[in-house]
Structure 1
Amino acid sequence: MKNYIILSLLVLACAFTACTKEDSESMGSPTIAQSSLKFSVTQKDGYDNIVYLNSQTSGGYIPFWQYTGGFSKKMLDTINLPFAGNYWIKYTVYTPGGPVGDSTQITVSENDPEYFSSATWNLLANGAEGRTWVWAVDVPTLYCYGNGPGDATTPAWWTNGLSYLQSVGVQNDEMTFDLKGAKNFTFNHNGTITKAIFDLDTTAQTVKITGSDISLGTKATYKIVKLNDNELTLVEQGDGWRNIWLFKRKGYSY
């Protein structure tokens, strides 16, 4: 039995050694050097949010581009960087011996005027400066939260105002939308700050928040039914009903 165990251990050791040797022989160095990479990243004259990517490395390698907000595997591609700022564009090709990469930095001078051309962006987020919204507790009806029929724009069935908000501790909640480098959403609940992002569909007039939510929210995609310099009304649309939230610009009084 003792000899059998020793023999088995020797067989396993040889197997591991063989696998290790085979693996090491199959892993070579990249077949091209970084200095052999050829690519260009150029921006459109007068509209530097538009960026042209061009892979020029010889040898038929498939490129892999990485940039803030996306990636591409195309030899030639055009991308849009909608926010002002400095960006690294990473370029990589994959060889039998592994990846080889390089990068270059570009600067986008301003938020894309075409991408953000809808007035809804500015009303909701006020560009890079941002806009903070709070509960509209002094709205004339005094009801800023509740529900109602499917076309309601103010609470009609279940109606709540400041006293209800105080009872659940959310009367001082604040939410800020801004476009400083991204579609940023900041939620402030009694001094606890949550950073998140939002997406705005200016055609459907909807807003979706990822990583946080509005005060007393349901993590829905909210329909914007009223938005001006001072007022924001959001609804969660149901079948014949709506949940309704009335907010106002911080500092505004009715």
Structure 2
Amino acid sequence: MKKFITLSLLALSALLVSCTKEDEESLDGPSISKDNLKFSVTQEQGHDNIVMLNSLTAGSYIPFWEYTGGFSKNKKDTINLPFAGKYTIRYTIYTPGGPLADSSDITVSKNDPEYFASPLWKLLTNEQTGKTWVWATDIPGGICYGNGSGGATAPEWWQNGIAYLTEQGVAADEMTFDLNGAKNYSLTHAGTAKKALFELDTLNRTLKITGADIPLGGKVTYVIVKLTADELTLAQQGDGWRNIWMYKRKGFNY
């Protein structure tokens, strides 16, 4: 019995050694050297938010570009980096023996004036500086939250002001939007700020928050009913009805 066990262990060891050797032989290194990686990253003169990517590595390798906000698998591509800042463009090709990668660092001098051409961006965010919005509790009549008909611009049916907001614990809530490196959103509630991101559709005049919500929000894409330097009215659009939120710029008084 002992002899049988010994032979079995020897056979198993030989099998493991054989498998390991075959595995090692199959794991070849990359078929080209890193020195053969060739690519260019070029910014448009006078508009350095526009970046041209060009894979110049010889052969039929498919490139993979990674950058803040996206990726590309095209040999040649043009991307837009709308925010000022420093960026790393990572370039990778995949060979039969594995990936090879390199990168290029660039600097974008300012937020893209073309991307942010709509005045809605500045009205909502005050650009990189940021803008903070609070409940419009001192609006004439004091009604700043409720609902109404499908085209309402202020609460018509269910109407609420400072008393209800205080009861709900949100009267002191603040929302801040800025364009400092990203489409940043922050909701301050009970002294604690929750950071998130937002998307502004300037064509359809809608606002969407990702990772947080507006005070007493419905976690929906909001219709922008009104947006001026001092006033912001949002709505959840229903079929013949609207839920309505009315805010003002912090520091503004009616």
* TM > 0.5 fold call: yes
Matched, 1:37 2:37: yes
Partner amino acid, structure 1, of 2:75? M
Equivalent position of 2:167 in the other structure: 167
Percent identity between the aligned chains? 63
3-state DSSP of counterpart to 2:196: strand
Cα-Cα RMSD: 1.7
CA deviation string 1:12-43 (max 9, x = no partner) = 55554443332222111111121111111001
Partner amino acid, structure 2, of 1:187? L
Q: Report how far residue 5 of structure 1 moved.
A: 7.2
Matched, 1:75 2:52: no
Mapped partners of 2:8, 2:174: distance in 1: 69
Q: Report how far residue 100 of structure 1 moved.
A: 0.7
Greater CA deviation, 176-185 or 30-39?
30-39
Matched, 1:20 2:24: no
Mapped partners of 1:141, 1:186: distance in 2: 28
CA deviation string 1:70-122 (max 9, x = no partner) = 00111110000001111111111111111111111111111110100000000
Equivalent position of 2:106 in the other structure: 106
Alignment of 1:24-173 (within 5 A): 24-173=24-173
Alignment of 1:174-185 (within 5 A): 174-185=174-185
Distance change (3 Å), C-alpha of 1:204 and 1:10: farther
3-state DSSP of counterpart to 2:204: coil
3-state DSSP of counterpart to 1:24: helix
Equivalent position of 2:217 in the other structure: 217
Mapped partners of 1:150, 1:21: distance in 2: 73
Distance change (3 Å), C-alpha of 1:3 and 1:240: farther
Structure 2 alignment gaps of length 5 or more: none
Q: Report how far residue 193 of structure 1 moved.
A: 1.1
Count of aligned pairs: 254
Mapped partners of 1:56, 1:133: distance in 2: 49
Structure 1 alignment gaps of length 5 or more: none
Mapped partners of 2:241, 2:10: distance in 1: 74
Give TM-score scaled by structure 2 length.
0.95
Distance change (3 Å), C-alpha of 1:239 and 1:2: farther
